[in-house]
Structure 1
Amino acid sequence: MLSTGALRAHLLAARLAGPVATSREESLRSYRLFAARDPRVLLGLDPERGWDERDLLGLMARKCGVSPDPRHVSGPDVIDPELTLAALEAFAGRLRQAVEAGSPVLFGTGHPHRLLDFYAGLARAVSAAGCAVLTPARGVDVDVATRFGVRTHSIDYVRGVALVREPGARTAGSSTGAHTHSPLPVRVALGALAEGGGPLPDLVVGDHGWVCGAGQLGIDAIGLADTDDPALFVGEAEGRVAVAVPVDDAVRADYYRPLTRYVLDRADLTERQEWL
């Protein structure tokens, strides 16, 4: 079993928390865009209240541990590892509830290059525990906004985790997917389930638009978020995201492996993680 102290040390050593690679400039820019309701950073969330930059900075200080000082405008941003650990406990608790209830679960990521293995480990464990891991709308095209304009991508699943890929990027089932913040993939996936008469997920696990898009539609959602992703933390504050875990979401993929072990330990799924 991975101890809390060992995970705290890993978070800091891997720069998953503490001073992180996400810059203060990136975070503040996201807060400005969110305050202006720019869809690129809303991630599918429609905030109930007006959030200005100062409100967001205060929220992110409480949820992530970033500096609340608006005069601090440069350098690396900071995540408090104690807040990460507390959120991981809540994340594991919600996953445990899903397993105890035998709930259908949908996993999806907009960070497949970094976070696919983290979610795949959870998907394998909950499937082994008897939960249905849903894979709707495989191969369905979705038009998503990219820095090059709107491009058509297709939904695919790798080890039970949804991602999107550009046509021709690689064959279906390969681990190469596109980085996206879009909520459209989860909307399409949920729409396919509804149209097909299949069970809707009781829980969505992921990041970016997968979490906010699901939460906006009233489905319980939990996920990881960086300091420049205020939407998940606003969603949590407004009651539409169940758990948002503050963590750098763009370090080496293998650095998230201890987080998988820790979550499965706390979710009482230890026997499912022997392969990790």
Structure 2
Amino acid sequence: MLSTGALRAHLLAARLAGTVATSREESLRSYRAFAARDPRVTLGLDPEWVWGERELIALMADKCGVSGDPEHVAGPDVIDPERTLSALDAFAERLGEAAARRAPVLMGTGHPHRLLGFYAGLADALSAAGCLVLTPAQGRCIDITTRFGVRTYNLEYAQGVALMRKPGVHGPGSGTGAHTHSPLPVRVALDGAIDAGGPLPELVVGDHGWVCGAGQLGIEAIGLADTDDPALFVGEAEGQVSVAVPLDDAVRSDYYRPLTRYVLNRACLSQ
């Protein structure tokens, strides 16, 4: 069993919290873009409240522990590990509730190179607890606007977790998938579930557009977010997102394994 103290030490040592790789400059650029309602940063969320840069800085200081000083404009960002631990506990509680009622669940990530293993461990435990881990719209093509123009990807599933891959790239030896912030994949997956006459998820677990896109549609959503992803924390503040866990979402994939163990233990899903 991984104790809270041991996980706190791991968060700091792996730079999942504490001083993180995401820079203050990156975060402020995202806050300005969110304030301008740039869809690349809102991630499918349609905020109800007015969010200027100063309001976002104050929110992120409260939710993540970043500096609340608008004059602080350079250097590394900081995530308070106590806030991460508290959010992980809430995240685990939601998973445990879904498992207790054997709810259908959809898992999806826009960070497959880093976070696939984290979500796959959760998917496996939820499936063992009797939850239906959904895989709708398998293979569906999706056109996503990127900074390089429109790119076509396929919606695929690896170990029960949805991700985007380039067409023609398949199988476990083909790499993990593409990095994307788009809410289109979750919308396509939900449309696929409806078209197939199957159940819709009662809980969506993931990051980026998977969480915000689902939450905007009224589906309970929980996920992970870095300091330059304000949309999830705005969604949490406004009630569209149930839990947003602040941490660096781009460290080595094996650094997330202790988080999987911790969450499953707290959710009473350890196998």
Aligned to 2:247: 247
Superposition pairs of residues 51-90 of structure 1, within 5 angstroms: 51-90=51-90
Q: CA deviation at 1:134?
A: 0.2
Q: Distance in 1 between matches of 2:102 and 2:265?
A: 18
Which residue number corresponds to residue 39 of structure 1? 39
Task: Tell me the CA shift for residue 175 of structure 1.
Answer: 4.3
Give the superposition deviation at 1:145. 1.6
* Gaps in structure 2 of 5+ consecutive residues: none
* 1:193 corresponds to: 193
Asked if 1:104 is matched to 2:104, the reply is yes
C-alpha distance in structure 1 between counterparts of 2:184 and 2:129, whole Å:
29
Matches of 2:238 and 2:118 in 1, distance apart?
26
Aligned to 2:151: 151
Q: Does 1:115 align with 2:115?
A: yes
Structure 1 gap ranges (5+): none
Whether 1:171 and 2:170 are equivalent positions in the alignment is yes
Name the structure 2 match of 1:228: 228
Give the AA of the match of 2:170: T
The CA deviation string for residues 89-144 of structure 1, in whole angstroms up to 9 with x for no partner, is: 00000000000010000000000000000000000000011000000001000011
Does the 8 Å contact 1:104/1:131 carry over to 2? yes
How big is the alpha-carbon RMSD for the aligned residues of Structure 1 and Structure 2? 0.7
Whole-angstrom CA distance in 2 between matches of 1:261 and 1:92: 11
How far apart are the structure 2 equivalents of 1:40 and 1:32?
12
| 8 Å Cα contact 1:158/1:175 also seen in 2 | no
CA contact (8 A) 1:63 1:83 kept: yes
Does the Cα contact within 8 Å between 1:112 and 1:175 map onto a contact in 2?
no
Return the letter of the residue paired with 2:250. A
Measured after TM superposition, the shift of residue 147 of structure 1 is 2.0
Contact in 2 for aligned 1:222/1:244 (Cα 8 Å): yes
Q: TM-score by structure 1 length?
A: 0.97
Q: Which residue number in structure 2 is paired with residue 131 of structure 1?
A: 131
Question: TM-score normalised to the size of structure 2?
Answer: 0.98
Percent of residue pairs identical: 76
Using the alignment, how far apart are the partners of 1:48 and 1:158 within structure 2?
A: 35
SS of alignment partner, residue 44 of structure 1: coil
Cα offset for 1:172?
3.9
Verify the 8 A CA contact 1:45 1:212 in the aligned structure 2.
yes
Q: Quick one: which amino acid aligns to residue 3 of structure 1?
A: S
Q: How many residues align?
A: 270
Report the Cα distance in structure 2 between the residues aligned to 1:38 and 1:51, rounded to whole angstroms. 12
Counterpart in the other structure of 1:202: 202
Amino acid at match of 1:50: V
**1: distance between equivalents of 2:148 and 2:73?**
28
Matched with 1:29 is: 29
